[in-house]
Copies of this chain bind each other. A is one copy, B any other.
Amino acid sequence: MGRWKPDARGRLEKAALELYNHQGFDATTVAEIAARAGLTERTFYRHFADKREVLFPGDNPLPDTLAKAAATAPGALAPLEVVNHALIEAAPVFEERADLVRQRQAVIAANPELQERELAKLAALASTLARALRERGLETTTAALAAEIGLAAFKIACERWVTDRDGHTLAQYIQETLDTARHLTARDDVRCTGQEEVA
């Protein structure tokens, strides 16, 4: 049974990410992860169904965090503002574990199968967010598009954050990337500005 050790889950995750990065995800065994963490395989399987679940945990709080933040955002916000609000609310989930998130991104970037799984998880998050936006009364296409743009911005913001040398927070990158999205979709604003000048 082994002695009780504090934060077994955290130590298994740390050991797994180090091994995935050093020797590759495919080449790493659960036995090696457990040994590196100073724990048994049995303890590993008490926390994770398999070695992939270390990267894609079943109890990921992100979908709930996004859905709740979208549901409780102020009523007057434009669709993309609601998405912005939800993503900023979710940012601390990542910022609190910055080193682990960076290591995880590197593992996924090195493995096409894991990339496909990550894209599927992002698509599922977009669906969750789209549902929350529809429940705010947004039309189906508007909700789907706002959610997809939000997750695209989130993905790009994460990539910038994990390679960041300037010490910006993830929340700052999300804000910046969504500001870029606002400028990209601002054709109507430009027309309005022209009319103001005429007036």
Are A186 and B185 in contact (CB-based, < 8 A)?
A: yes
Instruction: Give Cα A186 to B76, complex, Å.
Output: 11
User: Would you call the interface of chain A mostly helix, strand, loop, or mixed?
Assistant: helix
State the copy count for this chain: 2
Chain A interface size band reads: 35 or more
Shortest Cβ distance from A119 into B: residue: B119
The verdict on A96 contacting chain B, using a C-beta distance below 8 Å, is no
Are B149 and A155 in contact (CB-based, < 8 A)?
A: no
Q: Please indicate the chain B residues that have their CB under 8 angstroms from the CB of A152 in the complex.
A: 145, 148-149, 152
Q: Please indicate the chain B residues that have their CB under 8 angstroms from the CB of A123 in the complex.
A: 115, 119
Are B78 and A181 in contact (CB-based, < 8 A)?
A: no
Q: Please indicate the chain B residues that have their CB under 8 angstroms from the CB of A116 in the complex.
A: 116-117, 119-120
Q: 5 closest pairs, A vs B, by CB?
A: A192-B192, A148-B152, A78-B187, A119-B119, A116-B116
